[in-house]
């Protein structure tokens, strides 16, 4: 083992936005290896918006390492299915090392020329969420228009790029700053984008798509969902993935003020969890790897180096400090 195992524990329940005081770095006391287990040293950790919701009562236990998508390398194994040096995907995050069973991990065989971090972004849960929402929920058709909220984040930027590969017509994104708006239109191929601070979302969407949009991929909820309902065409579809606007609120979420428009316009609104679609992983890789190699799609990532920075990376992601997927590098990818 190259270093002392460390972990981050959640030590208190946040009220509103979490702070660094809600976490503690501790020396991790790893369980001894037994037959059927292996010791993994983590290389990359994912921090994601859903983790904020999981910090509330009824989710993660206090005083334990947190959970999340991770990529690690096997150091030692007592399971014939795992060998030292194997790269694996698992969910023992917020720690430098983990003892895992073979049935808890997915072996990774990285495609040549594809960086390992991509398996936490476009080829990981982020890209899978985008792909499932577009192909299984929205059933996006060539030429159709699409609105994406939080479009400069991990899932949002994947949605916009994958939609282009699927033949979407006009793709519109919302983001939280002028710099992110430029990133969407100048770097990621969005046809239009707006800063949601500039006015009501419905008005801004109407300016970007005067004829309305066919579909909406929702990562935000709240005013974004209401604005999208306003801007959707008749028979439009909504894939509801997340509601980051509500995660730090201590009040129950209010229904969109124009929810009846779902009936009046014959809209379809469907929520989904990517964990129910893990069987699509192979299809995602078959579809995206050639486009990644050709450069038609890019892994939009913000990588923060150092395990000591995992909490700040998480808090920064909640504050919108990232472009694309926020990833923490805690080991040597080579």
Crossing angle for the helix pair 125-132 and 281-294, nearest 10 degrees? 100
Integer Cα distance of 205 and 36 in angstroms: 54
- Tens of pLDDT, residues 207-223: 999 999 999 999 999 99
Average pLDDT score over the chain: 94
Using a pLDDT cut of 70, give the percent of the chain over it.
97
Residues forming CATH 3.40.50.720 domain(s) in the chain: 125-275
| Tens digit of each residue's pLDDT (9 = 90 or more) over 125-141 | 999 999 999 999 999 99
How far, in Å, CA of 7 to CA of 26, rounded? Answer: 5
> Which part of the chain has CATH 3.90.180.10?
6-117+300-329
CB 179 within 8 A of CB 310: no
Report how far residue 101's alpha carbon sits from residue 174's, in angstroms, rounded to the nearest whole number.
Answer: 41
Residues of the chain above pLDDT 90, percent: 88
Residue 175 binned pLDDT confidence (cut-offs 50, 70, 90): very high
Instruction: Indicate the fold that domain 125-275 takes in CATH.
Output: Rossmann fold (3.40.50)
Distance CA 263, CA 79 (A): 55
Dihedral sign (CA 121, 189, 256, 322): positive
What does the radius of gyration of the chain's CA atoms come to, in whole angstroms?
20
pLDDT at 249: 59
Of the chain, the end-to-end C-alpha distance in Å amounts to: 16
Q: Which two tokens stand for residue 83?
A: 């060998």
pTM of the full predicted structure?
0.93
Question: Distance between CA atoms of 174 and 152, rounded to whole angstroms?
Answer: 8
**Quick check: 7 pLDDT over 50?**
yes
Mean pLDDT of all residues in 293-315: 96
Amino acid 1: pLDDT? 43
Residue 5: alpha-carbon gap to chain centroid: 26
Q: Which CATH class is domain 6-117+300-329?
A: alpha beta
pLDDT digits (tens, 9 = 90+) for 305-326: 999 999 999 999 999 999 999 9
Dihedral of CA atoms 9, 49, 135, 167 in degrees, nearest 10, equals -130
């Amino acid at each position: 083992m190259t270093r002392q195992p460390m972990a981050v524990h959640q030590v208190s329940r946040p009220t509103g936005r979490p702070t660094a005081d809600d976490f503690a770095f501790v020396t991790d006391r790893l369980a001894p290896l037994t037959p059927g287990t292996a010791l993994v040293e983590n290389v990359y950790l994912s921090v994601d918006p859903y983790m904020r919701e999981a910090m509330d009562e009824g989710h993660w236990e206090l005083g334990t390492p947190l959970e999340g998508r991770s990529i690690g390398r096997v150091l030692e194994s007592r399971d014939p299915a795992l060998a030292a040096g194997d790269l694996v995907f698992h969910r023992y995050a917020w720690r430098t090392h983990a003892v895992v069973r073979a049935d808890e991990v997915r072996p990774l065989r990285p495609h040549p020329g594809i960086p390992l971090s991509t398996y936490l972004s476009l080829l990981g849960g982020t890209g899978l969420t985008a792909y499932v929402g577009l192909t299984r929920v929205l059933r996006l058709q060539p030429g159709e228009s699409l609105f994406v909220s939080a479009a400069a984040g991990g899932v949002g930027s994947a949605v916009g790029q994958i939609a282009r590969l699927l033949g979407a017509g006009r793709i519109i994104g919302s983001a939280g700053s002028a710099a992110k708006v430029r990133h969407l239109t100048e770097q990621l191929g969005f046809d239009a984008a707006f800063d949601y601070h500039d006015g009501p979302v419905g008005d801004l969407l109407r300016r970007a798509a005067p004829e309305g949009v066919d579909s909406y991929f929702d990562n935000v909820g709240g005013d974004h969902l209401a604005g999208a309902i306003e801007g959707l065409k008749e028979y439009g579809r909504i894939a509801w993935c997340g509601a980051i606007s509500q995660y730090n609120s201590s009040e129950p979420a209010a229904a969109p003020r124009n929810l009846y428009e779902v009936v009046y316009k014959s809209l379809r609104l469907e929520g989904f969890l990517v964990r129910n679609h893990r069987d699509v992983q192979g299809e995602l890789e078959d579809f995206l790897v050639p486009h990644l190699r050709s450069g038609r799609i890019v892994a939009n990532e913000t990588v923060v180096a150092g395990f000591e920075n995992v909490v700040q990376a998480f808090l920064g992601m909640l504050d919108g400090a990232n472009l694309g997927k926020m990833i923490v590098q805690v080991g040597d990818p080579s």
